[in-house]
Structure 1
Amino acid sequence: MNSSRKLIVEILDRMEKQDSYLNILLPSYFSKHRLDSLDKALLQEISYGVTRFKKKLDWIIGQFLVYKDKQIPLTVRNILRIAVYQFFYLEKIPDYAIVNESVELVKNSSYRGYAGMINAVLRNITRKSTEIIWPDRGEEPVKYISVFYSFPEWLVERWIKRFGLEMCQDICAASNIRSDLALRVNILKIDMAQFQKILTQFKISFKLSPFLPDIALNVKGFDDIANSPIYRKGLFSIQDESSMLASEFLAPLAGETIIDMCSGPGGKTAHIAQIMQSKGTIFALEKNKSRLEMVQKEASRLGIDMIVPVLADSCLLIKEYLEKADKILVDAPCSGTGVIRKKPDIKWKKWGRNYFKELNKTQENLLETAARYLKPGGELLYTTCSLEKEENEDIILRFLKKNTNFVVRESSQFVKEKGLVKYDSSIKEAIQIVPGYSGSNMDGFYIVKMRKVG
């Protein structure tokens, strides 16, 4: 047990020192260390949990430190965070065991001199957990939301300005809820009724997606999913419902030519192929070789043979694609603020002064290049997993001003059919999905479709 927690400390230390991402670090640790399924689950639970609630945990710890201004080494602080997370969010481990393991952890580190402090602080927290004082919501709403929901103050201030106080709190609360695992059934190999029977045989609980009941469902208790026989057979893919909605709204037809401008790792590319019944051609552009290999691997697993992988920077024009595509997907690189519940480390990344300037340049270049690949009468779908207007409606408004031969397509019928609750932005036809506002199990997404009229 202690060896697992030692790895968690190492992972959390690396994240802060190297500005790494959990979804990249964890798989590397799983492949490097021999861990059973329980240890893997524990590593994932605590690593994500501590990252998600880091500021809240530090607030609790701070109330029980004798010398509050004393700088605590990162490793020691992470040992404290791990323990406090277990106190408040994991019920199966007794408090005394958590304290003892934490003391042993620090004794076996380079900071054994902190063993007494850790023992005293943690025992104090277990005795006085009901006495924790939070910022006053009425007097300091930004600080309250920031601490209680564990978000940086600058992001809370930004969202209050954009969405208002109540909605900002709802977004933060929803972004801390661990999402159910959403699966997209591979209709090229199996239908939904057959897939439900298989899940029932495997004793995996599920419920149909309220938005896409014919192809998607949410599951619980599906452990070690990548090694399951039904995954290896390509009967389904893992993909959030918001992401699936983008491909559905693109509405590609069998036999069409599609260009996916940023295809890696291949979730939307494969979904588009399935909608097209694997008939036609999808040019999957991706500048990162390893991500392009993921697209190819996913297509092979799912039995899709109409995807043409292209290793290329999508911001640079490829003349052979000029006016070649019936439809184009631009799933643009973005801040990712809509998917914080899946990637909690995003909220701790610091945005520099030129953050949006650099992102916007890429987003605009992708759109301008895609526009030239599209046939007259063709449709271009732009999407991000962001809540920020600078990389959503602001980008589209500038594009439309420059490209007067494009018009925004209506979305009201699609929104009504799918039962979506969208947040109204300055482009009324766009679909802005916001966590909490649009549903508690929804990632934040921005989706807008444009038609080239000449």
Structure 2
Amino acid sequence: MAKLSPARRLALDVLMEAQETGRYVREILAGSSASDSCDARDAAFALRLALGVTATEGILDDILNLYLAKPKKVSARVRTALRISAFEALYLDVTSEVVVSQGVELVRSCAKNAAGLANAVLRRVCAGRQEFLSATDASANQQRIVSVARHAGLPVWLARDIEVSLGDSRAAALFAAQLEPAPFAVLANPLRADHVDAALLNAEATPLALPESYAVGHMAGIAATDAFESADLVASDYHAQLIAAAATRAGSCLEIGAGRGTKTFMMHAHVHVAHMKRTYIALDLFDGKCRANAERIARAGFGELQTVAGDACDLDSVLVDVDAASGGRTLFDTVFVDAPCSGTGTMRRHPEIPWRLTPEDTRKNLPQLQLAMLESASERVALGGELIYATCSVMTAENGDVVDAFLGSEHGESFELVPLSQADIFTLPAYKPARVQVEEHEDERGLFQTAPSLHGFDGHFCARFVRKS
């Protein structure tokens, strides 16, 4: 009888807790006392398994259901144990002997009488894995896309929509990177330059083109310090950092969808680097996120942050106190809409995304909300001011189609689409190298779109409008 590895046992416990509580795998594992008793290698492998199973859940169930006589009769814990072994077989290229022996022991730890079932099913999974990934069971006209989806661990509809949105080459790069770790980047607080050097050195950080931005080799090196808690650094994908920089300009700014304030922090940092004068209001739907945002800005030494909580589709109600204080309807030099979206550009970091999304989400529900937010925001842009629209999606329906719908609407008649790379901040000498990088990801209309790739950063979209009348 093989001895069950502690990493697999921990992965099973984490996955079950995620199912039962709705919490994220990373969050659970980070706070798990069981992980403290594992060595670093076991903890890392447990995280790899838990994230991988979460990211490919539907594909794993598909292959398991081929060989389970009564799929609906299998308990949740046994199914999760089988998913772990199936993930190893399909995506980690673990030998059949290890998959079966460890899988049997993992299932035995859940239900002793299910060990025989696990042995039979996992042997068939291992024997049939290549044919399954090649989608030989799919119809001839569907075989290619089904195989693509299975290799990437994605629902077929989502893989198809990504190809349509990104084109073949960029979609292929996303699929190849989908189950690989995403790179990390941070932005440093320019007021704390003397405090962050040790943390950056410990993390093997290297400077990027954007001022105060660094690629991080080992995020644990920073996490072991208090740099995040002290607001000396903020973690953010580099492509998102480029968008935050582009949205930073002098004058008044309303940030919509600020959340806990990652982009708020970054824009405040660039205000200091660029020596700008700016007033700022951060809006989010939730009071708790507004408080967290204001607290971090204060810890960072950026001063007091004005926040408002409420529905961004009803800005007149949300900004009633702001308008009263200014003696009239407040218009802003910059309105930045960081819109809720599918998150399809960040699935490597958030493996829960692909199997929670539905086609209606990305094709209808989210675009309708995004357009409503954009139209509402446009009413608060001053003449000559800028409206910035950003998502972390790679889907055309949420990005280019929303832009076109806005420009074709009554609200959009007053706006002109202009390239993101021509944002004011990119005229400054320190920011010109970053401008070149933005230009590399712009289309002929100046729309900024990135997509994940192996060793590359995440997928983000941004459109920049100027109010002309």
TM-score by length of 1: 0.82
Match of 2:269 in 1: 274
Deviation at 1:150, TM superposition (A): 1.3
Deviation at 1:430, TM superposition (A): 1.3
Structure 1 residue 372 corresponds to structure 2 residue 387: no
**CA offsets per residue over residues 189-222 of structure 1, 9 Å max, x none?**
117xx8456533x3x323333x42x321222233
Q: Which amino acid aligns with 2:436?
A: E
- Worse-matched range after superposition: 1-10 or 232-241: 1-10
**CA offsets per residue over residues 258-308 of structure 1, 9 Å max, x none?**
111111121001111111128532211112123223212322332221421
Task: Decide whether the 8 Å contact of 1:329 with 1:381 is kept in 2.
Answer: yes
Deviation at 1:324, TM superposition (A): 3.4
- Worse-matched range after superposition: 140-149 or 412-421: 412-421
Task: Decide whether the 8 Å contact of 2:82 with 2:107 is kept in 1.
Answer: no
Q: Counterparts of 2:29 and 2:436 in 1: how far apart (Å)?
A: 43
Match of 1:242 in 2: 239
User: What are structure 2's unaligned runs of at least 5 residues?
Assistant: 324-328, 427-433
Match of 1:159 in 2: 162
Q: Counterparts of 1:98 and 1:290 in 2: how far apart (Å)?
A: 44
Q: Secondary structure at the match of 2:193?
A: coil
Q: Cα distance 1:387–1:215, how it changes in 2: closer, same or farther (>3 A)?
A: same
Match of 1:149 in 2: 152
Identify the structure with the greater helix proportion: 2
Match of 1:207 in 2: 206
State the number of aligned residues.
436
- Worse-matched range after superposition: 122-131 or 363-372: 122-131
Q: Cα distance 1:257–1:56, how it changes in 2: closer, same or farther (>3 A)?
A: same
Task: Decide whether the 8 Å contact of 2:362 with 2:395 is kept in 1.
Answer: no
Q: Counterparts of 1:315 and 1:85 in 2: how far apart (Å)?
A: 42
Task: Decide whether the 8 Å contact of 1:226 with 1:232 is kept in 2.
Answer: no
Structure 1 residue 421 corresponds to structure 2 residue 440: yes
Task: Decide whether the 8 Å contact of 1:55 with 1:147 is kept in 2.
Answer: no
User: What are structure 1's unaligned runs of at least 5 residues?
Assistant: none
Q: Counterparts of 2:277 and 2:34 in 1: how far apart (Å)?
A: 43
Match of 2:307 in 1: 309
**CA offsets per residue over residues 139-191 of structure 1, 9 Å max, x none?**
72111101112111111222333444444322212233211211111112117
- Of 446, 449, 453, the match for 2:464: 449
Q: Counterparts of 1:152 and 1:2 in 2: how far apart (Å)?
A: 30
Match of 1:340 in 2: 347
- Of 37, 48, 51, the match for 1:48: 51
Q: Cα distance 1:224–1:116, how it changes in 2: closer, same or farther (>3 A)?
A: farther
Deviation at 1:362, TM superposition (A): 2.6
**CA offsets per residue over residues 379-410 of structure 1, 9 Å max, x none?**
11110111222222222222223132211123
TM-score by length of 2: 0.80
Q: Cα distance 1:157–1:119, how it changes in 2: closer, same or farther (>3 A)?
A: same
Q: Cα distance 1:26–1:222, how it changes in 2: closer, same or farther (>3 A)?
A: closer
Deviation at 1:87, TM superposition (A): 5.9
**Matching of residues 349-360 of structure 1 within 5 Å:** 349-351=356-358, 353=360, 356-360=363-367
Q: Counterparts of 2:72 and 2:331 in 1: how far apart (Å)?
A: 63
Q: Secondary structure at the match of 2:173?
A: helix
Task: Decide whether the 8 Å contact of 2:189 with 2:232 is kept in 1.
Answer: yes
Q: Cα distance 1:416–1:198, how it changes in 2: closer, same or farther (>3 A)?
A: closer
Q: Counterparts of 2:128 and 2:378 in 1: how far apart (Å)?
A: 61
Structure 1 residue 177 corresponds to structure 2 residue 196: no
Match of 1:391 in 2: 398
Match of 1:257 in 2: 252
Query: What is the aligned-residue RMSD (CA, Å)?
Result: 3.6
Q: Counterparts of 1:224 and 1:75 in 2: how far apart (Å)?
A: 35
